[in-house]
Amino acid sequence: MRGRQDPQICGHEDHRKDSSKHVPAVRNRYVRQGSTVRTRRSTMQNKVSSDKGINKVNLVLSIVIAFAAWVYVVYSINPTVSKTYTDIPLTVTNARDLAKSDLAVSKMDMEKINVTVRGRRSSINELEKSDIEATVDAANAGKGENALAVQVKVPNGITIKSQSENNVAVTVEDLEVKKVSICSL
C-alpha cells in the first residue's frame, strides 16, 4: 500500500509517473489540513478563553457590588438589633444605710440576671457586658425578707428590651460584729 496513494489526497492524477512530487504534495495537503485543524482549534480555544475572561470579570464585578452593598447596609443604614447578655452580676447599693441601722444583707435569692438590650448595631457591637449595671437598692429594706426591684442601667443610645428578673428576694438580718485578734508569728 505504500506505493499506492489516493489521487484526491495527493492532488495528482497519476501517482506512478512522478512519485517524487507525490510525497511533498501529501505533506503539503496534511500540513494544510493540520493548519486548518489548528486554526479551528485555536479559534475555539480563543473563544473559550474569552468566555473564561468574561466569567472572571463578572465574578469580580459581582464581588465588588456585594461588598459595596454590605458596606452601605452596615455603615449607612445601621439597623436596630437586639442582643442578650447573660450572667450580669447583681450588686446591692446603699448597704451602708443598712449598716447605720445595724442591719446587713445576709442573702439574695438571685446573684445574676440576664438582660436583653436593643439599639443600633454599631452601639450594640461596642457594648460590653461590664457596661451593663444591675443593682438592688437596699436603702428602704427592713429586717427579714424583702422583695426589691432590680434596676438595670445601660449606656446612652441603648434601651432595655427585657430582663430575666424584675424583683429579687433579699434577706436582711441584724449586723453582727465580731472582734478577732490577730497573732503575729
CB 175 within 8 A of CB 104: yes
- Residue type, position 1, single letter: M
| Nearest of 161, 109, 114, 108 to residue 134 by alpha carbon | 114
3-state secondary structure 67-131: HHHHHHHHHHHCCEEEEEEEEEEEEEECHHHHHHCCEEEEEECCCEEEEEEEEEHHHHHHCCHHH
pTM: 0.54
Give the pLDDT score at 29.
44
Give the pLDDT score at 138.
84
Cα radius of gyration (the chain): 45
| Nearest of 116, 119, 145, 148 to residue 132 by alpha carbon | 116
Tell me the average pLDDT of the chain.
Answer: 77
Give the pLDDT score at 50.
61
Please, which residues have CB within 8 angstroms of residue 97's CB and are 6 or more apart in sequence? 138, 139
**Residue ranges of the chain whose pLDDT lies below 50:** 1, 10, 12, 15, 19-35, 37-39
Q: What whole-number distance in Å separates Cα of residue 82 and Cα of residue 75?
A: 17
Give the pLDDT score at 31.
44
Give the pLDDT score at 4.
53
Give the pLDDT score at 175.
77
Give the pLDDT score at 166.
92
Task: List Cα–Cα distances, 73 to 30, 117, 126, 177, in angstroms.
Answer: 63, 21, 18, 60
- Give pLDDT tens digits for 37-51: 444 555 555 555 566
Q: What whole-number distance in Å separates Cα of residue 27 and Cα of residue 33?
A: 10
CB 149 within 8 A of CB 177: no
In residues, how long is the chain?
A: 185
Q: Are strands 133-137 and 112-120 parallel, antiparallel or unpaired?
A: unpaired
